[in-house]
Amino acid sequence: MNLLERLRVKEQEDVTQESNVEIKIPAEPPVELEVQHPEMPAEPVERMHPVKVQTDDYQQLRSMVFKYILKERKDDDIEVIISDLDDIINDVLKENESLSHVTGLDSLKRELSNDLTGLGPINPLVHDETVSEIMVNGPHQIYVERNGKLELTNITFRDNEHVMAVLEKIVAPLGRRIDESSPMVDARLPDGSRVNAIIPPLSLAGPTITIRKFAKDPFTIRDLINFGTLTEEMAEFIKACVESKLNIFVSGGTGSGKTTTLNVLSSFISNKDRIVTIEDAAELQLGQEHVISLETRPPNIEGKGQVTIRDLVRNSLRMRPDRIVIGEVRSGEALDMLQAMNTGHNGSLATGHSNSPRDMVARLETMVLMAGMELPVKAIREQIAGALDLIIQQARLKDGTRRITSITEVQGLEGDVIVLQDIFTFRQMGVGPDGKIRGSLVPTGVRPKFYGQMEEQGIYLPPSIFIEREEPVQ
Ligand SMILES: Nc1ncnc2c1ncn2[C@@H]1O[C@H](COP(=O)(O)OP(=O)(O)O)[C@@H](O)[C@H]1O
Ligand SMILES: [Mg+2]
């Protein structure tokens, strides 16, 4: 729906309300009017906006402003209209002096911009930069993630239909639909944030929306160091690994920060390289000039036209890439990726879902089998051992922080076994007074086998960073 259509619908809704004085239900009730769900804690964090009961004149003004926008500003961008809302409301008030007594203009403004951008009550959360994820569990329970911690908000939708209306506004512009026949959808907001929705009957809590916000300013290596995800020294080490074209896999659980780390790793790639990125939903934000971003496509409503990560990996090999960066390896594409890594596409980067480097290797074996080729286990292990150089294991700790918990070299195959060697491991040093886990990556004392290879390429790391010790050197 474009702005014009959206406004028309709104206007329709408003007109219906005006003609129906008996049961006056606002089309999109503002946050202020929402009732608190009985199951929510009695004293949630703090109310986002003061509770206020609205008058008929308020509703009338709202509807006049809509009509005004529809008439006078229909060709403008929504952002421009929203930034001009003060002036617009003033103009409408000048033309309609009988409404000049209406109070609550701030909340009117907020409500209008929520309606214009189409996300209703969760709009403020979408624009709140401290919120990294939004989780709508049915109409009456909305959680957010801030600084790695879950928080229950006091924002609610009116009912299931209200959530569905917002969902439709999210998916319709993408040519997708969400209803009983297609009750699960992945979509993206215009700003790049990822949206997943699953609705009844599959979701018992009511329509459930999960929004992973797109970081406007992606984290840099400096941020990760400041967060304590890794130390300065580790950063140097990892940078050298990327520059010397090692094949690196970032492993970790959901939300452990894999994609963020992958983005940071990719930032170390030379500006001269031709980089092809492959993702399910484009999240990586690379600063280099020569980047080609590829994105998969889900099947259409008839179940046709799907393009998988595997298709894209295969295609990318014909694109003369210097570097292939794969957002997440989940299935048969593992085989194509390993083959690429083994046949001259060094310096490839990828992530995978797993809880330890050893587990990651085992999962890769399974994923290669998913490619549908009857390969003997030994051959698969040879591929893995030959292709991968380094596994960076990441975790989200209990205190909400994301840490790199080990940096592990894939040394090769001994007999049937893939030999893994930790170069750095996480050492926990107690819990701070703030409840934060204290600890850091420390060297295990083993110098990686690829150290020589790095030196050959003129990339120098002081050998002292591999000397075993208890505390990190900062
Ligand atoms: N090192 C980090 N420190 C703090 N927060 C992080 C870190 N890495 C990622 N995050 C945040 O954690 C969330 C999940 O990160 P993401 O990289 O998408 O994880 P994954 O790819 O493992 O699912 C995002 O909101 C992101 O901003
Ligand atoms: Mg990810």
Ligand 1 neighbourhood includes 215 CB (under 6 angstroms): yes
Query: How confident is the model at residue 302, as a pLDDT?
Result: 76
For residues 322 and 275, membership in a common domain is answered with yes
**Cβ–Cβ under 8 Å, residues 172 and 165:** no
**Cβ–Cβ under 8 Å, residues 400 and 146:** no
State whether residue 287 is helix, strand or coil.
coil
pLDDT exceeds cutoff 50 at 264: yes
Asked whether residue 474 is domain-assigned, the answer is no
Query: Can you say whether the dihedral through the CA atoms of 50, 56, 59, 64 is positive or negative?
Result: negative
How high does pLDDT run on average in the chain? 84
pLDDT exceeds cutoff 60 at 447: yes
**Which ligand 1 atom is nearest residue 132's CA?**
25
Better-scored residue on pLDDT, 320 or 440: 320
Ligand 1 neighbourhood includes 224 CB (under 6 angstroms): yes
**Which ligand 1 atom is nearest residue 353's CA?**
22
For 177-189, the pLDDT digits (tens) are 888 888 998 888 8
Ligand 1 neighbourhood includes 256 CB (under 6 angstroms): yes
Asked whether residue 146 is domain-assigned, the answer is yes
Query: How confident is the model at residue 274, as a pLDDT?
Result: 96
Ligand 1 neighbourhood includes 403 CB (under 6 angstroms): no
Asked whether residue 473 is domain-assigned, the answer is no
Residues 6+ apart with CB under 8 A from 451: 461, 463, 466
**Which ligand 1 atom is nearest residue 145's CA?**
25
Query: How confident is the model at residue 4, as a pLDDT?
Result: 56
**Centre of ligand 2 from the C-alpha of residue 382, in Å:** 27
pLDDT exceeds cutoff 90 at 241: yes
∠ CA 35-140-31, rounded to 5°: 50
pLDDT exceeds cutoff 50 at 16: no
Query: Can you say whether the dihedral through the CA atoms of 27, 30, 36, 37 is positive or negative?
Result: positive
User: What one-character-per-residue DSSP string does 153-181 give?
Assistant: -S---SSHHHHHHHHHHHHGGGT---BTT
pLDDT band at 38 (very low <50, low <70, confident <90, very high): very low
Query: Can you say whether the dihedral through the CA atoms of 372, 373, 377, 383 is positive or negative?
Result: negative
Q: Whole-prediction pTM value?
A: 0.70
Q: Kindly state the tokens that stand for 227.
A: 């967060």
End residue of a domain, out of 57, 88, 117: 117
- Nearest Cα neighbor of 347 from 245, 453, 451, 237 is 245
Give the H/E segment covering residue 268. Answer: none
**Cβ–Cβ under 8 Å, residues 406 and 360:** no
Ligand 1 neighbourhood includes 148 CB (under 6 angstroms): yes
Among protein residues, the one with the nearest Cα to ligand 1's atom 3 is: 402
Residues 6+ apart with CB under 8 A from 116: 3, 6, 7, 69, 78, 81, 82
Best residue for ligand 1 mutational test, from 258, 260, 405 (most atoms within 8 Å of Cβ) = 260
For residues 209 and 225, membership in a common domain is answered with no
339: amino acid identity, one letter: Q
pLDDT exceeds cutoff 50 at 19: no
Instruction: Report the number of secondary-structure helices (H) and strands (E) in the chain.
Output: 15, 15
**Cβ–Cβ under 8 Å, residues 253 and 269:** no
- Report percent pLDDT > 90 for the chain: 49
For 275-326, the pLDDT digits (tens) are 999 998 888 999 999 999 999 987 776 778 899 999 999 999 999 999 999 9
Ligand 1 neighbourhood includes 254 CB (under 6 angstroms): yes
For residues 147 and 251, membership in a common domain is answered with no
Asked whether residue 60 is domain-assigned, the answer is yes
Total number of domains in the chain: 3
Tell me the Cα Rg of the chain. 26
What is the dihedral angle through the alpha carbons of 221, 223, 228, 232, rounded to the nearest 10 degrees? 40
User: Which structural domain range is residue 43 located in?
Assistant: 1-117
**Centre of ligand 1 from the C-alpha of residue 260, in Å:** 6
Query: How confident is the model at residue 30, as a pLDDT?
Result: 38
Better-scored residue on pLDDT, 79 or 417: 417
CATH number at residue 435: 3.40.50.300
Asked whether residue 360 is domain-assigned, the answer is yes
Better-scored residue on pLDDT, 472 or 267: 267
CATH number at residue 186: 3.30.450.370
Ligand 1 neighbourhood includes 229 CB (under 6 angstroms): yes
**Cβ–Cβ under 8 Å, residues 34 and 156:** yes
Between 37-51, 199-213, 361-375, 425-439, the lowest mean confidence (pLDDT) is in: 37-51
**Centre of ligand 2 from the C-alpha of residue 437, in Å:** 23
**Which ligand 1 atom is nearest residue 283's CA?**
18
Query: How confident is the model at residue 36, as a pLDDT?
Result: 35
**Centre of ligand 2 from the C-alpha of residue 265, in Å:** 14
pLDDT band at 220 (very low <50, low <70, confident <90, very high): very high
- Report percent pLDDT > 70 for the chain: 87
**Centre of ligand 1 from the C-alpha of residue 460, in Å:** 30
Give the integer Cα–Cα distance in Å for 471 and 474: 9
pLDDT exceeds cutoff 70 at 51: no
Among protein residues, the one with the nearest Cα to ligand 1's atom 27 is: 132
**Which ligand 1 atom is nearest residue 328's CA?**
21
Better-scored residue on pLDDT, 377 or 453: 377
